[in-house]
Structure 1
Amino acid sequence: MSNPQIPKEGVAVVFDKCNGPIRVDKHHHVVQPSELKPGEVLVRVEYTGVCHTDLHAWKGDWPAAPKTPLVGGHEGAGHVVAIADGTTTTLKVGDAVGIKWLADSCLNCENCRLGSEATCDLAQCSGYTVDGSFQQYAVSFARHLTPIPDGLPLEVAAPILCAGVTVWKALKEANAKPGDWVVISGAGGGLGHLAVQYAAAVGYRVVGIDTGDDKRKLLASYGADTFIDFKQFGGEGKLIEEVKRVCDGKGPHAAIITSAGGAAYNDALEYLRPHGTLVAVGLPPDTYIKANVFWTVFKSLRVVGSYVGNRQDAIEALDFAARGKVKPQIVVEPLENLEKVYHRMEQGAVPGRIVLKNF
């Protein structure tokens, strides 16, 4: 099943070694329908978000290096243009679909059966172990593509496919209920501003921690009950005292850490109320959580690592966006701008999410 208009070549952004030159390849080979293996689908990628994970892949600063050469990207939104012969799927040519970080998994192991496909030993990751969405035509695996709801613009869907899914999963790990206080650290960033919206949509009382009046106003519009500018509480323990104060004097029931700063983790262990949950999401390099064993036990605290969501989490996350409950703050730029976007990300100069247009 294919579209006869599939070209032989397309545009892709590629690097050949970590931290090396990034090149725009205008003659990148487009896999043809006859080359697809059973289970594979060819997607014409129209928009793709840029995530900090993509920057980490280029820099090569994670414990396991990505494949090279690499086409990065894992927040791709586009349409199916070909499906390999022998593929069992409900997808059809023309369907709008999303490419996520999790490209494929076995679906047979214990982790997959429990809905934790990302921790499958055979998991493949878009833009890391297999080529991703920074190209006009991407080969994907049918069983892990996510259908995009009718009427949801693809440029809006793109960042939901990683940032949205990730924070929605993290909130489900928070062990909180409507009316509980939930702190979002790094609330104005690509992950954080979505976490605030999901948290507000399900009835949590939300405290956003970040800095700047622009983020204060933005997060208030997204439903944050309180904003704390961390730069105004730089003294020893001052931020912790302020978080406790605004959360009924007892501290929040949960803290979702999307911040790129490692200090946010240890602060959370100080300001959480008894039975509170720290959900680790952000990945600042060389960071360790130092939990005092006595107080962790005495307060019955939970520390939970939350990776990415599963296939169902992705469908739920997109549904919030389709119903207008969640809307990413995006700036659309051409695909060729990727290297410039990376440099702005390194400088912390990217509010919300950058989405690249692939055509």
Structure 2
Amino acid sequence: MKKKIAIIGSGISGLTLASFLKQSDDLEFIVYEKEDSLNLDEGFGIQLSVNSVSILNKIGFSQLSKNEKHHPPNLDFYSENSKKICDLDLTIFNSKIEKYTTLKRSILIRFLKEKLLTNSLIFRKRINAIEYKNERVNISFTDGSKDEVDYLVISDGIFSNSKPIIENKIFKPIYYGSSAIRIQTKNKNIFNFNNNNISLVMGPNSHLVVYPINQSNELNIVYIIRKKLENNKDVKKIFNNTIFKENKNLANCFEEASKFWPLYISSKPTKSIYQNVFYIGDAFYAFPPTLAQGASQAIESAFEIFNLIKDNHHNIQSIYFKNREERTNLIIKRSKFNYFSFHISNKILKIFRNKILKILVKNKKFINSYLGKVYKK
């Protein structure tokens, strides 16, 4: 008899898991989504390191049109006045078909959705309660419908609606002390940088990331500042300070930017009280953004739980949580260190950081230890 899996949430992690489950003849699945439809609007960019690209290639990602993605060869580091400090070669982690990739999030969601049958994705569904009985999970939804499954996988994000109901406790994400502003532009003259690469501009208590997301010269720009933005006036004020003060062309690109997001992370990885309930993606742990691993870790966690279910391990919960927790802690430490180093404001420390950075980006042993453990799982 086939094992049945219910997936709650149709983001990157949920759809990745569903795409792999579809390949198995011994497993059946259904994806439940609380919204009315998938958001396939243009959306903002994401970065995928080779650890996740290698997974996606197993379901045909390498066949995605070359026009809809980009493979940046380098990460260029800049000071706040746009003076280049050094660069990191990202291709050292690449293989012939596994390459560091940037693209629009909506393109990846569309790619994953196209792998699924229409009836495997059901909208307007919210969990109301669950009952764990005889190693089966009985799910009740707010519309009165029910389902009974062997495994329940939660992938509805950091502000999960399902998690408090299932675990019968309150989960409060932690405000990370920063806000993000994101835009997209085709303006190639923002400042003097290589539009083929990822550019990281490090300013006092802030940093800016610019990278191409396709072959149509579109750039994704993310600005992160250690400040809680309350309204549009706060947004306008920052354009007269920090990085923007030194880059008027860049400030002009952000003139119409009015949306901002406070940044939150999870307090700790989530392990369910039930043996057959699992959390993946941001529902398991939402990372700081300073290692660009959010999407890649969502894909990793989905693939890991797929393999454990497919191989019918007897102690899936313990194996999965142990592996994920170790991996998560590794990435948290590096993300927090990056957050500190990107935002240094002391002039002497900045000089010291820049000199050390020039040495480290050329030290293969260090790079393989610091990034290789993340990029090549």
TM-score computed with the length of structure 2 as normaliser = 0.23
* Higher normalized helix content (fraction of residues): 2
TM-score computed with the length of structure 1 as normaliser = 0.24
Instruction: Identify the structure with bigger relative contact order (alpha carbons < 8 Å, sequence gap 6+).
Output: 2
